[in-house]
Amino acid sequence: MTLRTGAILAAVGSLALAVAALPQFRTEYAAVLFSRMPVSDQLLELAQGSVALPASVRAERIVLRACEDILRSPQAMFRPQETRTALTASCHDLAMAALRRAPVSSWAHLALAASAATDAEFAQAVVSSQATGGYEGELAQRRFALVADRIADAGPDLANAFTADIAVLAQTGVGTALLARRYAAYPELREVITTAIERAPEPAQRAFIAAVRRSGS
């Protein structure tokens, strides 16, 4: 093989690799553009099924986080039922696709919980998200927000996951402030929050009590 032939083959090989990588590059770049859209545009893109699941973990998280955010947003609540149904189905499909790729993805389980079709699917998805990402503060905060409105009907597994997330939140200033606000505003949550705080280290208990007092409860 001559030097020139080898150079040509190398160039052809590089070009082939670049062409093969184009679809992945497009989905990754699309996820970045998606993250910069207004929420109203993100909602429409998801409802139309125009959002593909990116290959990288970072870009995948952008899409799954957006699903969870938008499904709980006022923008979604005031859309026509047809749009809300399409949005939920799209996010459910994206979450399932992510779980087929990585069954231990805490973010995928969270997105599945937000788009769950049944109470049983919701509970299992929350428990799985907590089991695979129990010590991540942002995930704990998001799960807490999802479950708080349903805690009265929670089974033992979901209740235990909720309590575990409260324990995680109590370890940070932001989490403690969130718990104190919820404790003050929602009497129905006080018992479960109190039970979880009583199991927390003493410094966390003192911080929570101080935060509650500052809130005026």
Task: Tell me what pLDDT residue 20 has.
Answer: 37
Q: Where are the domains of the chain?
A: 12-115, 123-217
Per-residue pLDDT band at 64 (split at 50, 70, 90) = very high
* Residues 60 and 111 sit within 8 Å (Cβ to Cβ): no
Q: How far is CA 87 from CA 22, 31, 68, 76, 118, in A?
A: 27, 17, 11, 8, 16
pTM of the model: 0.83
Q: Which helix (H) or strand (E) holds 78?
A: none
Is residue 9 predicted with pLDDT exceeding 90? no
Task: Tell me what pLDDT residue 28 has.
Answer: 80
